[in-house]
Structures are given as structure tokens and as C-alpha cells.
Amino acid sequence: MSHSMTSVSRAWPALTATLLLLGLLNGCGPAHVVVEGKFPAPLIEPLPLTLGVWYGDDFANHEFFDESKSKHESSWIVSTGVAQVQIWDTLLNGMFTNVVHLKTQPTAGQPIANVDAVLIPHVEELQYAIPRHTQIKVYEIWMRYRFDLLSASGTPIAQWGMTSYGKTPTGFLQSDQEAVNLAAVMALRDAGANFATNFSRVPAVQDWLREKGVPISSEPQ
Amino acid sequence: MISARTRTALTCFGLCLISACVTSTVDEMVYNEPTEGIGDDSVVILGRRHASDYETEPDFVSCVGDYISSGDNSITVIDELTFLNAVYPWFEPRTAPLHPADIERLLKQKPVAAKMADLKVEYMIWLDGSTERTGGSGSMACSLGGCFGFGTWSHDANYEATIWDFTDKAAVGHVNTSATGQSYMPAVIVPIPIIAPVQGTACDGIGQQLLEFLSSEH
């Protein structure tokens, strides 16, 4: 009994030191945000086409890392991959009558069966700003995308870029991580809105839709 | 039996509470007021999110909505996020209509027109503005024995509500509210924050004017 008491009393300082060290390490580690949100289906008439979609590893596991520039700032990791796949799946399923997830990476010149075209999205850049950086009470996320649209025969139809932006105000008892997550969700919603309303305005896409005999509706913008 | 010291402390606390006051101004200009209320139709209240340096707070938008629906149970106020999700992507900051005339073009989209009819939206109210902290002074020192000092700061709230009639596709009213308040935090061992309810006062001011516009009972 006395032996076990001694062991416990000896273990306490070590346990306390370990917890303190873990706490310090946690405090010093980067702020990590895994973006989570719910994304609504778009309220639009779907295009009567079958779209193949390929999410590359860089897209499906997209992560942004910003290393701190001083001792007073923390590094940031913003993981958007899961949320990217979630919103683009929801959006494309609402925009096209049929969406097929490709199992192998499409390559130029290689035909793809049972689709009208293949869309490959890429996140090229992500930037963020928090009130500590800008002195204004909003958190901001900015993203730049690139899209490749290939025909069923594997020939490129169009390649275009698109930006999205999301911001959220500071909130009472809201952590930086929660606010960055909200700003990222807003940026993803904005990406979906931008894509849905401008897809048929991309000149090369417009030509392709005409070839397919798809009527291009006038949009309320 | 309350001791003299307790009575003094309570008096001081009461005086401090009284001094955390808010000054508020409301300007209103409305036309075509629905004389018999809005019946079975509904109202949606949305925050404008176009400015780069501020954002209309979602909690302010829900505060105004709650004020209206609690003031008249017969008015259906659609929750902002529920509406934005139902009509996605047409009311996002990038795509939201900026002028009443834009509604016509929006309703050319058959799914949007059907959804609006389903939601029975009669009035759309846009709220634009924010509450900002405008200054602060004082100092406070805290140690193991407690905190001592005094701090004060002020908040300014400025909001504008624009009412759109969805049937007539026209703006039928504007309500402006501004509120200013000074908050205090005296500290004698324990800091006691005395917060001026600036945003809440602005919410009540704008909510009351909108309630008078929409309700037949007010």
C-alpha cells in the first residue's frame, strides 16, 4: 500500500510536467482548421448532359499551410479538401442531369466512355486574413480555382480560372478557428455561386453547349 | 438588515447601471403601407454583405426578425439562412439583387419563381450596417489580490433597412437607426462590466418601425 502511494506521489510531478509540456506544445503548435459546413443544392434547371468529374489528390486533400512570421503569431493549417469535394459534388449534381465520378485520372487524348465531358477542378491558391492582420473586424478567405473541361474523346474543350471570396464578422466568444471555418464556408459557397452562374458564359463552354444543342438560358445578372 | 456599506455598494452599482445608457435615433420613410397587414404572406430579412470593411452581423438580422415575429405572431418571418439555402446561389453576396428591378430578371428562372411562390415572399427587407467600437480609455491592474482600476469604451451602431415589395418589384420604405452608448468597467477587487446595449437598442428601434409597417395591429 505504502509502495503504491510512493509510486503515485513520484508519478505526480512527471505527470504534471508532461501535461504542462503537452499544453505548451499545443499552445505553440499551428492553428489547424478542418473546414466543415453544410452546402445547399443549387436552385437551377440542370443541363441535360452527363458530366464526368475527376478530383485529383491535390484537390480532394487540399490543405493550406501558412508559417508564422514572428513569435507572436501562430502558423495556420486550413484543410479544405473534404469540404471542396462536398460542395462540388452537391453543386454539379444540381447543375447536370447526370454526374459520374471517374475512377482513373483522365489524360488528354484518351477517350472516356458514357460522358459528354469531364471536369477537373484545381485549387491554385488560398489566402486568409484575420483581424490581427488587417485591423478590421472581419475574417477573410480568398481562393483561386482553375478548371479543365475535356471532351469525351479526351480533347481539351476549355480551361478557365475563377476566384471566390468569403468573410465573416467577429463574434462574441468565437475563436479564430471557428471564424476562419465560417469564412471558408462562405468562400466555398461563393465559389459554387460563381461557377453556377458563369459556367455557360465561358466562351469555349458556350460554343461546346451550342454544339451539344443545349439551350443557353439568360441569367439574372 | 442591510449594512451601511452594502447599501452604499448597491447605490453605487445602481448609479453605474443607470449611467450605461444608449442614445438612439430612428428615421423612417415608407410608402404603400399594407393597411390590413400581410395576411398569409411572409417576410424575409437579409443582411447586405457587399462592403469590404464590415459585415452586417447575422445575429442582428435574427434579432430584428425575432422582434417582428414576437410583436405580431401572425407575421411569418423566414430565417435568413433557411432562405439563403432555399434559393442558393441567387442571394449570395456575389449574386444577390441590388435593386428591386433585378427581381424581375431573377424570377425569369423558373425554379426561383416557383420557390418564391412556395415561400409566399411578399416583402424582402435588406439590413445594411454594423456596430463598431469607437474608442476606449482607462486602465486596470490585476494581481492575485484582485483587479483595481476603471475602463470605459463606446460603441456606435448604424443600420439601414430597405423594404422591397416583391409583388410590385419596388422599394417601399427605408428605416435608418443609429445608436451610441458608453460602457464602463469599474474594478475594486472584482471587475464589474456595465455594458451599454447599443446593438440591442438599434435592433429594437429598427424592429419597431418595421413592425409598425408590416402589422395591422401596431
Q: List the CATH number of the domain containing A169.
A: 3.30.160.150
Q: How confident is the model at residue B217 (pLDDT cuts 50, 70, 90)?
A: confident
Of A38, A138, A190, the CB nearest to B92: A190
Q: Is the ipTM of this complex over 0.95?
A: no
Whether residue A1 has pLDDT greater than 50: no
Residue A186, domain member (yes or no): yes
What average pLDDT is seen over chain A?
Answer: 85
Q: Using CA atoms, how far apart are residues A88 and A123, in angstroms rounded to an integer? A: 12
Query: What would the mean pLDDT of A104-110 be, rounded to a whole number?
Result: 82
Whether residue B46 has pLDDT greater than 70: yes
- Spatial CA neighbour of A154 closest among A209, A102, A108, A103: A108
- pLDDT tens track for A141-155: 999 999 999 999 889
The pLDDT of residue A7 is: 42
Which residues lie closer than 8 Å to A1 by C-beta, 6 or more apart?
A: none
Q: Using CA atoms, how far apart are residues B172 and B186, in angstroms rounded to an integer? A: 46
> What phi, psi does B131 have (nearest 5°)?
-110, 125
Q: How confident is the model at residue B7 (pLDDT cuts 50, 70, 90)?
A: low
Residue B169, domain member (yes or no): yes
Whether residue B68 has pLDDT greater than 70: yes
* Number of domains forming the structure of chain B: 1
Of B55, B84, B111, the CB nearest to A44: B111
Q: Which of A20-24, A190-194, B151-155 has the lowest mean pLDDT?
A: A20-24
Beta bridge partners of B69: none
Of A136, A167, A192, the CB nearest to B89: A192
Angle at B64 between CA B199 and CA B172, to 5 degrees: 115
Residue A25, domain member (yes or no): no
Residue A221, domain member (yes or no): no
Cβ-Cβ contacts under 8 Å, A44 against chain B: 89, 109, 111
Q: Using CA atoms, how far apart are residues B162 and B174, in angstroms rounded to an integer? A: 5
Kindly tell me the burial class for residue B198, based on how many C-beta atoms sit within 10 Å of its own C-beta (0-12, 13-18, 19 or more): buried
Residue A218, domain member (yes or no): no
Residue B26, domain member (yes or no): yes
SS3 A13: helix
* Number of domains forming the structure of chain A: 1
**Nearest CA to CA, how far is A45 from chain B (Å)?**
7
Query: What would the mean pLDDT of A25-50 be, rounded to a whole number?
Result: 87
Whether residues A220 and B90 touch (CB distance < 8 A) is answered with: yes
Q: Using CA atoms, how far apart are residues A186 and A180, in angstroms rounded to an integer? A: 10
- Mutation for testing the B interface, residue in A38, A43, A138 having most B CBs under 10 Å: A43
Count residue pairs from A and B with Cβ separation < 8 A. 72
SS3 A9: helix
Residue A13, domain member (yes or no): no
- pLDDT tens track for A158-174: 999 999 999 988 776 67
The pLDDT of residue A2 is: 39
Kindly tell me the burial class for residue A66, based on how many C-beta atoms sit within 10 Å of its own C-beta (0-12, 13-18, 19 or more): middle
Residue A20, domain member (yes or no): no
**What DSSP letter does each residue of B55-71 carry, written as one string?**
---HHHHHHHHHHHHHH
The pLDDT of residue A61 is: 96
**Nearest CA to CA, how far is A163 from chain B (Å)?**
11
More confident residue, A13 or A48: A48
Residue B80, domain member (yes or no): yes
Residue A19, domain member (yes or no): no
Cβ-Cβ contacts under 8 Å, A189 against chain B: 88-89, 92
Cβ-Cβ contacts under 8 Å, A194 against chain B: 94
Q: Using CA atoms, how far apart are residues B159 and B169, in angstroms rounded to an integer? A: 23
The pLDDT of residue B15 is: 52
- Spatial CA neighbour of B194 closest among B152, B163, B156, B157: B152
Whether residue A103 has pLDDT greater than 70: yes
Q: Using CA atoms, how far apart are residues A152 and A157, in angstroms rounded to an integer? A: 10
What average pLDDT is seen over chain B?
Answer: 88
- Spatial CA neighbour of A90 closest among A41, A30, A28: A41
Please name the residues between 133 and 192 in chain A that touch chain B, using a CB distance below 8 Å.
136-138, 167-169, 171, 189-190, 192
Q: What is the span of the domain harbouring residue A122?
A: 31-211
Q: How confident is the model at residue B174 (pLDDT cuts 50, 70, 90)?
A: very high
Of B49, B85, B106, the CB nearest to A220: B106
Q: What percent of chain A stands above pLDDT 70?
A: 84
- pLDDT tens track for A7-20: 434 555 554 555 55
- pLDDT tens track for A77-101: 999 999 999 999 999 999 999 999 9
> What phi, psi does A186 have (nearest 5°)?
-65, -40
Whether residues B55 and A168 touch (CB distance < 8 A) is answered with: yes
Q: Using CA atoms, how far apart are residues B54 and B102, in angstroms rounded to an integer? A: 24
Q: Which residue has the cell 409598425?
A: B212
The pLDDT of residue B13 is: 55
Q: What is the span of the domain harbouring residue B141?
A: 13-214
**What DSSP letter does each residue of A70-133 carry, written as one string?**
STTS--EEEE-HHHHHHHHHHHHHHHEEEEEE-SS---TT---TT-SEEEEEEEEEEEEE-HHH
Cβ-Cβ contacts under 8 Å, A220 against chain B: 90, 97, 102, 105-109, 112
Q: Using CA atoms, how far apart are residues A119 and A55, in angstroms rounded to an integer? A: 9
Whether residue A104 has pLDDT greater than 80: yes
SS3 A138: strand
